[in-house]
Structure 1
Amino acid sequence: MCFNEHYTTTQLIRSLYIYGLLITLILKEMSRLHLFIAFIVFCLFFTSCLKDQENDKEKIVEITIYPETGYGASIMSDIWTQPLIFSDNDDNQKQMLVDIIFEGLDIDYERGYKYTLSAEKVWMHEPLQDVSSIKYVYIELLSKEKVITENSEENIELFVSPETVKFTPKYPSEFEDDQSPKIYNALHTKKTGSDNWMTLPAIEGFNFEEGYEYVLNVKKITQVDPYLIRFVLLEIKSKTLRN
């Protein structure tokens, strides 16, 4: 823009004002365009995130199954059993295989052996009710190693609850004459100072009376071949009546 000498001051101010308005309008239109583009990008990103959330997340992991089983029951059952104890190399946290889907798990598990296998870990977008939101899909067995190789004995102190619980052994499984799983009224017990409960069909030499809680000294005997764990009473330290 140029001005000649015949422009009055009023005309000059008016011209500058008009050009200022034009520049402001141009800048506003550019800002609106940028805002519109930013909005489109945000919508595309948000839609992509929603699609990711709607899909299951998957990852190949290495699973370790440990040589001794645990004691536990499904949230949908009052019958205790012997779940496998496992961890994966994604978080290395030991846990019992209870209320966790493990599709296609095909190993002939024997206590005393450590198993390493490959599996797909799946974070389910819509998990089934009463099961973990994480499931596993078996791929292949990588190794099987015997890690408990010697018989052993250990003296431990056990707390015994005043009420029994239902228990069906799994390794090995036991059956009634009609081939239904054998169910014991088992002792509900744990090592003193521990929060990990066990269910024992019997402690050799111990006569349990329901309604009493006990503290016992026992000998835990681990036999390697065939794999077997026994508990033998050494001493009744206390016996207390509970209502």
Structure 2
Amino acid sequence: MKQAKLLSLFLFVFMSLTIIASCSDSDDKREIREFQLTVASVKPLMFISDHYSPYFVKYEGENEWKTFPYITNFTLTEGYEYVIKVRSERVVFEDMEGGSPYEITLLEEISKTQKVSENIPPQRGYFVIGSKKTGDENNPYYTRELGKGYWVKFPGILEGFDYEEGYEYIVELDCQFNGSTDINKYLFSFVKIQHKDKTDSVNLPS
């Protein structure tokens, strides 16, 4: 009888310690961190892709801009550079396809300065180009606004693209931010045609 009680007590203590250790491990896996970022005054372009990182940021003590995932409770007004403090928490433990496994939340907006961020890195990605031109010499092409479905004027000058009206394209482009504040703040260079389809693009502005 005494041995049975001792065994029961041992099992109770062992299970309690296991639960405590498990909770501790779970907390460690959450990887909660707080840190400071500088957020650039311009957003990355939204290319055709599965996931979009809406900011360029510099980590404290670093000089290079890097793309960064969505920050909860933070609204970027383009034309302003921010210094902010954020909280990062890992919310996905298993392997995941694309996207960020971290939830980022704004803790504090330290400063907001009206300026044009410099040395924004070049980008490369895919755009849809509509089957007819806009009639605007400065922005002659239509592109589809990703995530919204409607057509807008292509956001910059596109060099090296041999366009043929009556075809809808998916094109791969290099993009460099010019630092200007007008509609042509990007310079695009044609890389290749990914897809070309003889069709009338649906719902183009008349």
> TM-score scaled to structure 1, two decimals?
0.43
Higher helix share: 1
Could you say which structure has the larger radius of gyration? 1
